[in-house]
Amino acid sequence: MRIAGLNIRACRHQGAAIGGDGLRDGQGRAGLEYLVYTVRTDCGREASMFGFAGRSALGAGHLAAASLRPFFVGRPVLDREAAWHDWRTADRWWHHLPIYSYGPVDCCLWILGAEAAGQPLWRYIGGARAEVPVYASSLVLPDAGAYAAEAVAVKAAGLKAYKIHPPGKALAEDIEIHRAVRDAVGTDFPLMSDPVAPYTLDEAVRLGRELERLDYLWLEEPLPDEAFGALRELTRILDIPVIGTEVLPKHPYSVAECLATRVVDGVRADPSWSGGVTGVLKTARLAEAFHAPCELHTTIFQPLELVNLHLNGAVTNSRYLELLWPTGTFGFGLTAPLPITDGIARMPEMPGLGIALDRDLIENDTLEVL
């Protein structure tokens, strides 16, 4: 079974509106742009997966198609490891694609392998567990009251934890938000914080100390992922676990130093930004060797979240499946909802992904086939 073709669709889903400063860049979005990669084989099989596209599906898609199509066509589908290492060399020499370009193709190769084996993806990888709890992550909200109300809604919906993405403009405001959310949900509901790198080291220490008092589960990316020296000092000072590495390129190699010299207490990975299923498995196994968590990061788009679910079924050092809230904004791309009941996601049992991509929606959202 060899790769006979690779097509990439540049798409925009108008139904996913994000207002104002919801993603902290000061720009609302009337719709979300995304890519759909389709790998075709010489025996008539095919698999598709969503891909991240940033602000431009056409821009990201043209780059990916120009580099990845000639690289992959003709390769054996099951030689994923060889492709991984060959691409690492090729990308270093000339391509230098964004971190989200390679992952969707790797996902397609794993899906094709699982389908050919007649196994659900998580069990084909190497089954570890049949279910995982789910937590919700906020967008950036207007004030402390909005975060508190959302956290209460998440808890009422049966999800098992809530993570705050604070505005990151003023430390005092962010601390007020974290206090208000803890007061709103009580002492027995797990909470996390992900400021997305807005602070100085001193500010991160002050927030971390407050989160320790409020019994938050972890503090994620209070400083840039590449700020190794400052993060190492923060990790040394704080008792609350410091988590990072989700936007470091070249997983797992870039993550090794972070674990070996305790830059962070735990790492992040996902099949969108970390190089597909192969990249996540490498990073998760690396973290496991250090007895550290590899918390799987939301991939935003539902088909990729389904891959994340399968990965959660194949590793033991990710505690949750993460979904952005409100889930309805991002709940498109599959013909059925993610299999979540009472805040617990259960692994599919059908071969491959277990849920088909919504081809009609993709066709309607397509801007151009590349």
C-alpha radius of gyration, the chain, whole number: 20
pLDDT of residue 23: 77
| β 242-244/219-220 pair status | parallel
| Pairwise CA distance, residues 36 & 304, whole Å | 11
DSSP summary character for residue 119: S
φ, ψ for residue 118, nearest 5 deg = 70, 30
Residue pair 243/218 in contact by the 8 Å Cβ criterion: yes
Per-residue pLDDT of the chain (370 residues; tens, 9 = 90+): 999 999 999 999 998 777 766 777 767 677 899 999 999 999 999 999 999 999 999 999 999 999 999 999 999 999 999 999 999 999 999 999 999 999 999 999 999 999 999 999 999 999 999 999 999 999 999 999 999 999 999 999 999 999 999 999 999 999 999 999 999 999 999 999 999 999 999 999 999 999 999 999 999 999 999 999 999 999 999 999 999 999 999 999 999 999 999 999 999 999 999 999 999 999 999 999 999 999 999 999 999 999 999 999 999 999 999 999 999 999 999 999 999 999 999 999 999 999 999 999 999 999 999 9
> E strands of 165-308, at which residues?
191-193, 219-220, 242-244, 266-269, 294-296
> How far apart, in Å, are the Cα atoms of 121 and each of 156, 306, 348, 349?
31, 10, 8, 9
Are both 3-118+358-369 and 123-346 of the same fold? Answer: no
| Pairwise CA distance, residues 279 & 230, whole Å | 26
pLDDT of residue 20: 65
> How far apart, in Å, are the Cα atoms of 258 and each of 174, 230, 241, 252, 292?
27, 12, 14, 10, 11
| β 46-52/191-193 pair status | unpaired
Count H helices, E strands: the chain?
13, 14
Residue ranges of domains in the chain = 3-118+358-369, 123-346
Is the domain defined by 123-346 classed in CATH 3.20.20.120? Answer: yes
| Pairwise CA distance, residues 159 & 153, whole Å | 9
CATH topology of domain 3-118+358-369: Enolase-like; domain 1 (3.30.390)
- How many C-beta neighbours within 10 Å does residue 315 have? 24
